[in-house]
Structure 1
Amino acid sequence: MLIGYARVSTLDQTPDLQIDALRQVGCEKLFTDKVSGMVTERPGLQRVKEVLRPGDTLVVWRLDRLGRSLRDLIDWMNYLEGEGVALRSLQESIDTSTPTGKLVFHLFGALAEFERNLIKERTMAGLTAARARGRQGGRPKSLSDDKRQLVIDLYQQKKLTVKKICEMMNISKPTLYSYVRS
């Protein structure tokens, strides 16, 4: 079964163009959202997940209607593959029910992985260079050593609640527990 999904970013926009194209290719069920692609909770897309069955094809007008980034699209593709569902994009002429469509999509995935590895490599090189110049990474400590010791002492004395200590020192519970553990 062909199941169509259309999305527009704002309430002012209309999905009519997408819906017409999805109907024209034979989509039996259509779901829409009027929400930015950055929003992860999309009711229409959630309903799509609920009705998809193995052997179905999810049809979108353009790939950017489904996911905002290549990572989102790859996550969707992995999900759909796991469910035995194909993906078809009308504008990009991608159909993962065909060997060529799968190849194109996996090339996108390989390029995304390559990009992630390059970013990781550059980040690690930058951190190494910064450390060589004496810079330390990470967030600055929220309390001085004396105040950290005071937090530990107050915690161990058990005279004040964790909540009260955190309020007095203006720190979070996880920060307090990290001081106590170290």
Structure 2
Amino acid sequence: MSKIGYARVSTSDQSLDVQIEKLKAAGCSKVFSDTATGSSTNREGLVNLMAYLRSGDTLVITRIDRIARSVLDLQQLIKQLQEQDIAFSALEQPVSTDSASEKAFLDMLAVFAEFELNIRRERQLEGITAAKKAGKYKGRKPLSESVATQVKQLYAERTSVSSIARTLGISRNSVYKILKSS
């Protein structure tokens, strides 16, 4: 019988504060949150939220795109909530799962959220292609030979890949690439 909120922003540059304030003002007794892309459903806050919700609760979000970016993801979430007798509502959009017309409107909003995500991806790829043609996009600079030498030396001394990465301030993947190329 509790209202439980969920807030999400895409990057650490963005703030969750406004969403959390709105959810608490709407009567949410607890708010789960994530700082992660919406195209991923494997978010810690969302996973914890789903484990926390109980029959009779209401999941409250500020907007549809905060919880799902595709129609399929939203429909699967709604189905899971309905199977557990959990209601769903969005504060900034007049949607809930209470009636057929509200469910239809919810699906339409999900279509637009997915469309927006796809358009953004297309623009990003177009920008990268244009930057490559202009010679401005060259990817990440390769690691220096001194770093590669240090990696090889530490590995020869039986230092773990994780320790090498931590010591040199590089990723484990970079360590593996250097070791593979030698």
1:103 is matched with which residue: 101, 104, 118? 101
Pairs aligned (count) = 110
Partner SS state of residue 80, structure 1: helix
The verdict on how the C-alpha distance between 1:47 and 1:105 changes in structure 2, with shifts beyond 3 A counting, is: same
TM-score for both structures, normalised by structure 1: 0.56
TM-score for both structures, normalised by structure 2: 0.56
Distance in 2 separating the partners of 1:55 and 1:81:
10
**Quick check: 1:85 aligned with 2:86?**
yes
Question: Where does residue 6 of structure 2 map in the other structure?
Answer: 5
Q: Runs of 5+ in structure 2 lacking a partner?
A: 112-182
Letter in 1 for 2:59: L
Q: CA deviation at 1:75?
A: 1.0
The verdict on how the C-alpha distance between 1:95 and 1:74 changes in structure 2, with shifts beyond 3 A counting, is: same
Question: Where does residue 47 of structure 2 map in the other structure?
Answer: 46
Distance in 2 separating the partners of 1:43 and 1:112:
22
Larger Rg: 1
Question: Where does residue 61 of structure 1 map in the other structure?
Answer: 62
Distance in 2 separating the partners of 1:4 and 1:110:
22
Distance in 2 separating the partners of 1:45 and 1:94:
20
Distance in 2 separating the partners of 1:110 and 1:91:
15
Q: CA deviation at 1:69?
A: 1.2
**Quick check: 1:27 aligned with 2:25?**
no
Query: Which deviations, in whole Å up to 9, do the C-alpha atoms of 1:24-80 show, x marking residues without a partner?
Result: 010001000000011221000001111111110000000000101122111111110
Distance in 1 separating the partners of 2:94 and 2:68:
16
Q: How does 1:135-150 map to 2 (within 5 A)?
A: none
Q: CA RMSD of the aligned region, Å?
A: 2.2
Partner SS state of residue 24, structure 2: helix
Query: Which deviations, in whole Å up to 9, do the C-alpha atoms of 1:78-136 show, x marking residues without a partner?
Result: 1100110010101112122x33xx432145559999xxxxxxxxxxxxxxxxxxxxxxx
Distance in 1 separating the partners of 2:71 and 2:34:
20
Letter in 1 for 2:102: V
Question: Where does residue 75 of structure 2 map in the other structure?
Answer: 74
Letter in 2 for 1:30: V
Distance in 2 separating the partners of 1:89 and 1:81:
16
